[in-house]
């Protein structure tokens, strides 16, 4: 418990006075340093959380959430009636894929071709998107390409493009690669330039003919009701499709999200040093405060105030400075995170620079996702650091020799 005397003395030491000029400067810099450290940590964590969430949303909006790939035998359709599978999945469709080359007199371009049946193609999120332009039917001899591919190579709906397959066909002059002309029927926009530039959709039967694939080797794409909780879902799918290979969107992008996780943790550690450095100013400030208050401390001890109370007083001074700075930093960081896109636009307009290039970050605006758990962790770490640095000056004040202090003051 804190006594009334301890509260009054603590509040008195927190008040600024003219004769404590240098001490006030140190206290102000301690407050600003901790506040900025907390605010920067919250802003960086919010942006990185937002970036990860936006990236996940776009990946699972374009790619299948889980893929069941047969080893030898085709996928058993009797498994489609499994209750647990139907509880997990929203849609499941057959597909296949192959790598071909787009050929034009002016250029050649490698493409990943994904094949679907017309009735299955319309079930995909990217087709249902308002950014999809053209025919939603994937008819034979027709192709759907990405926005980036369309812009970069000036391909429009209705144009014809030639696709070459690595599989060969025997002719009188030898083995030649298969080629087929497709009519561009639609243009999709996944909002990720890599996908839009390198992936195209064609009819599943066309794809199997072009790449000499067997219908028994078709993959089953599963689109889940809750695609973000993928690790638990994958185990359930593996128990249902025990004789098949199961992989998910997380497996295909494991290196990317591992790098994001490592980067977020490293940034947390590095930016925490700002708070630690700022907190050390509290030690300096409290040490000078103890030195300036030598006479007052001696008087308090002489009237019977215990060493425990003296240490409490100086500890509370440091703790209050650190706590108020943490609270102010949280408010500043949260406000900045909420309006970060407006701030980015303002800075870009004022200085005429692009602070968040879409072609590098895949996103049209700076994302931000405020995570209460991260804010709580940052606040706890900041307060713990404040507590640690406040202990030494408080103990030093309580151990001061009363008689010597009164004699030489």
Lookup: tokens for 22: 């240098």
pLDDT at 404 over 70: no
Residue 237 contacts residue 88 (beta carbons within 8 Å): yes
Q: Where are the alpha helices (DSSP H) in 63-117?
A: 83-88
HSE of 156, CA atoms in CB hemisphere, 13 A: 1
- 11 pLDDT band, cuts 50/70/90, is confident
Per-residue confidence (pLDDT) for residue 24, from 0 to 100: 67
For residues 233 and 224, the answer to whether their CB atoms sit within 8 Å is: yes
Distance from first CA to last CA of the chain, Å, rounded?
A: 32
Rounded Cα–Cα distance for residues 394 and 311 (Å): 4
Q: Is the pLDDT of residue 301 over 90?
A: no
Give residue-wise pLDDT tens across range 102-143.
987 778 889 999 999 999 999 888 898 888 999 888 899 999
Q: Which residues does 271 contact at the CB level (< 8 Å), separation at least 6?
A: 37, 40, 41, 44
pLDDT digits (tens, 9 = 90+) for 18-65: 555 545 677 777 888 888 889 988 998 888 888 888 888 888 888 899
- Residue 363, pLDDT score: 64
Residue 186 confidence (pLDDT)? 94
Predicted local confidence at residue 23, as pLDDT: 55
pLDDT of residue 185: 92
- Split at pLDDT 50, 70, 90, the class of 10 is confident
Q: Give the C-alpha distances (Å, rounded to integers) separating 335 from 179, 330, 339, 343, 379.
A: 57, 8, 6, 11, 16
Is residue 218 very low, low, confident or very high in pLDDT (cuts 50, 70, 90)?
very high
Structure-model confidence comparison of residues 352 and 65, the more confident one: 65
Q: For residue 225, give the DSSP letter.
A: S
pLDDT in tens, 177-212: 888 999 999 999 988 888 899 999 999 999 999 998
| For residue 96, pLDDT beyond 90 | yes
- pLDDT tens, 233-243? 999 999 999 88
Q: What is the pLDDT of residue 402?
A: 60
Q: At what angle do helices 21-62 and 254-292 cross, to 10 degrees?
A: 170
| Length of the chain counted residue by residue | 409
Q: Residue 313: what pLDDT?
A: 82
pLDDT tens by residue, 259-285:
878 888 888 888 888 888 877 777 777
Q: Is 275 exposed, middle or buried (0-12, 13-18, 19+ CB in 10 A)?
A: buried
Give me the mean pLDDT over the 332-338 stretch. 92
Pairing of strands 174-188, 133-134: antiparallel
What confidence category does residue 403 fall into, taking pLDDT thresholds of 50, 70 and 90?
low
Q: Is the Cβ–Cβ distance between 366 and 279 less than 8 Å?
A: no
Query: Predicted confidence band at 344 (pLDDT cuts at 50, 70, 90)?
Result: confident
């Amino acid at each position: 418990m804190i006594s009334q005397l301890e509260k009054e003395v603590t509040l008195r030491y927190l008040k600024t006075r003219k004769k404590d000029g240098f001490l006030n400067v140190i206290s102000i810099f301690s407050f600003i340093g901790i506040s900025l450290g907390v605010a920067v940590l919250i802003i960086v964590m919010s942006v990185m959380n937002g970036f990860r969430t936006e990236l996940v949303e776009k990946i699972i909006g374009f790619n299948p959430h889980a893929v069941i790939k047969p080893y030898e035998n085709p996928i058993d359709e009797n498994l489609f009636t499994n209750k647990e599978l139907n509880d997990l999945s929203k849609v499941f469709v057959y597909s296949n894929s192959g790598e071909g080359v787009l050929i034009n007199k002016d250029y050649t371009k490698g493409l990943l071709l994904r094949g679907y049946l017309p009735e299955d193609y319309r079930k995909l999120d990217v087709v249902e998107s308002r950014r999809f332009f053209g025919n939603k039917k994937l008819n034979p001899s027709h192709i759907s390409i990405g926005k980036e591919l369309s812009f970069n190579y000036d391909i429009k709906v209705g144009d014809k493009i030639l696709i070459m397959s690595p599989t060969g066909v025997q002719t009188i002059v030898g083995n030649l690669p298969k080629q087929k002309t497709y009519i561009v029927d639609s243009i999709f926009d996944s909002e990720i330039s890599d996908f839009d530039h390198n992936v195209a959709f064609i009819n599943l039967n066309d794809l199997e003919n072009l790449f000499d694939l067997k219908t028994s080797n078709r993959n089953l794409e599963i689109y889940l009701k809750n695609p973000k909780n993928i690790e638990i879902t994958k185990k359930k799918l593996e128990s249902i499709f025990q004789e098949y290979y199961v992989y998910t969107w997380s497996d295909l992008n494991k290196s990317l999200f591992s790098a994001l996780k490592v980067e977020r943790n490293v940034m947390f550690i590095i930016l925490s040093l700002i708070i630690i450095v700022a907190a050390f100013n509290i030690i300096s400030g409290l040490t000078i405060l103890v030195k300036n208050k030598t006479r007052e401390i001696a008087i308090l001890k002489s009237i019977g105030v215990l060493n425990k109370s003296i240490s409490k007083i100086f500890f509370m001074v440091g703790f209050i400075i650190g706590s108020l700075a943490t609270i102010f930093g949280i408010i500043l960081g949260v406000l900045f995170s909420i309006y970060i896109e407006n701030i980015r636009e303002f800075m870009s307009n004022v200085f005429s620079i692009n602070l968040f290039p879409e072609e590098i970050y895949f996103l049209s605006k700076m994302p931000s996702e405020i995570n209460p758990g991260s804010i709580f962790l940052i606040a706890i770490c900041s307060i713990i650091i404040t507590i640690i640095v406040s202990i030494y000056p408080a103990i030093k004040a309580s151990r001061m020799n009363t008689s010597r202090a009164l004699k030489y003051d």
